[in-house]
């Protein structure tokens, strides 16, 4: 049985859907790299000048970070902006 669900998204809503996808992928990438490097939410927050809860909310998809916050978080994780923009092109 195929458990996938298909939606017919109107063209005018597709950019929003793509934005959601990119934010979700960035969050997953942050969580993965943070875990692989043995960093806590507090470690990343301190390096990125962000609250621990903000980092947690971004990783869990509860909030949408602005570009400056993404750049600081990725820098704290040792990633480049190229890595940030590459997520949206896969």
User: What pLDDT does 49 receive?
Assistant: 96
- Under DSSP, the state recorded for 40 is -
In this predicted structure, the answer to whether residue 17 has a pLDDT above a threshold of 60 is: yes
Angstrom distance (rounded) from CA 27 to CA 70? 10
- Output 4 or 54, whichever has higher pLDDT: 54
Angstrom distance (rounded) from CA 26 to CA 39? 17
Per-residue confidence band for 89, with pLDDT thresholds at 50, 70 and 90: low
Look at residues 45, 40, 52, 42 and name the one whose alpha carbon lies nearest to residue 72.
45
- Mean pLDDT, range 14-42, rounded to an integer: 84
Angstrom distance (rounded) from CA 40 to CA 52? 9
Angstrom distance (rounded) from CA 48 to CA 75? 7
In this predicted structure, the answer to whether residue 27 has a pLDDT above a threshold of 70 is: yes
User: What pLDDT does 4 receive?
Assistant: 54
């Amino acid at each position: 049985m195929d458990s996938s669900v298909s939606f017919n998204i109107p063209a005018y809503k597709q950019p929003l859907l793509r934005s959601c996808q990119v934010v979700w992928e960035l969050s997953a990438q942050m969580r993965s790299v943070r875990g692989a490097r043995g960093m806590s939410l507090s470690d990343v927050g301190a390096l990125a000048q962000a609250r621990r809860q903000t980092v947690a909310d971004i990783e869990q998809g509860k909030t949408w970070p602005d570009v400056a916050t993404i750049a600081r978080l990725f820098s704290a994780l040792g990633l480049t902006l190229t890595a940030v923009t590459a997520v949206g092109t896969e």
